[in-house]
Amino acid sequence: MHGVPNSLRGYLDAASTEPLHPAAREVLAEAYDAGWADPSRLYGSARRAQLLLDNAREIVAAAVGARPDEVSFTGSGTQAVHLAVLGTAAAHDRTGRHLVVSAIEHSSVLHAAESVPSAEVTRVPVDRSGLVNAHAFAEAVRADTAVACLQAGNHEVGTVQPVGEVARLCAERGVPLVVDAAQAIGRAAVPADWAVLTASAHKWGGPAGVGVLVVRRRVRWRSPSPEDERGSGRVPGFENVPGAVAAAAALRARLAEADELNRRHSALVDLIRSRIPELVPDVEVVGHPTLRLPHIVTFSCLYVDGEALLTELDKHGFAVSSGSSCTSSTLTPSHVLEAMGVLTHGNIRVSLSRSTTETDVERFLTVVPDVVARVRAITGVDGL
């Protein structure tokens, strides 16, 4: 791709954060000039800010199949998750304190579920590809289940979950389904039968610090935060109008290019999935081979430490992730890989941004075999 900045060449960690989309960059300064006022006031500059915020809601609502008044912007994807899980549980506390989650949910979902007062949390296992069985998930739902949570696509291995079927089965049991769609929005369609949905703008090229919380009008939800009259009572505090406008602009642009980008990413991921086992001995590519997001591929190398691989790849100009997407700096093994029953060390997650080229991937495939061999030699396991 022509015109790609040098700082983005070799950037293969888009599942963590996608570089700011040009469409977001284009509107951001203008949005700060036009959307600085308090949208809850009645004077002219405030009404302009409210119009900008309403337009941003309409764009996001159309993208996820919701009504604009069901969409709220939060301070982060994590805040959106916390409000979704805790708020839905609070509104259904008379039903019970039991929650059902998949074993490979994002850590923000798992932590939120465990934070529900007096909660009992059932973690539904997944198979070796990271796929949850929809009927096993539904069987975990009980009469006292207040909330169920299932991600649209996994943040570490890319496996897409059967959200539509699970949502239907949960609805039959009267249980609201919270869907973490952070990795899917802008890349894959999300079935519409969910009750509450969350997302994070910087995953699709919007600015950091903007999350999305969507609560269906038919769903009972009660804010777990102190009472606040702003944001329809869902999100406390002053809305980040310029951030919401830039997030919506990035999402609209991303959706317009999604078909072409997804085809290109899928082809590059297929290339990595097929070539890595040929180039590197004792390696396992993990995640579902076909039911997956188009931009993520993960593989684990026997006899090596993922942190060492990250360091060596960084020296060659490649930014990738290893282990849990949120705990690699702590050397904590990935709960996702553990739940799948695959190798938890020597793990590399490659996730492609809109700027990633075939040349970047070919160079990565050239570098990885030597890097793995060097790390294995240092630890004295080369050739085992």
CA neighbor of 259 nearest in space, from 188, 350, 203: 188
Contact (CB, 8 A) for 303 and 321: no
Catalytic sites, residue numbers: 326
pLDDT in tens, 107-147: 999 999 999 999 999 999 999 999 999 999 999 999 999 99
pLDDT at 306 over 90: no
pLDDT in tens, 362-379: 999 999 999 999 999 987
Name beta bridge partners: 30: none
CA neighbor of 149 nearest in space, from 157, 141, 93, 42: 141
Q: Which domains does the chain have, with CATH numbers?
A: 6-19+257-378 (3.90.1150.10), 22-256 (3.40.640.10)
List of E strands, 150-189: 177-180
Report d(CA 164, CA 179) in Å as an integer.
10
Report d(CA 281, CA 368) in Å as an integer.
11
The pLDDT of residue 333 = 82
pLDDT in tens, 141-168: 999 999 999 999 999 999 999 999 999 9
Rounded to an integer, the average pLDDT of 325-339 is 71
pLDDT at 220 over 60: yes
Rounded to an integer, the average pLDDT of 277-292 is 96
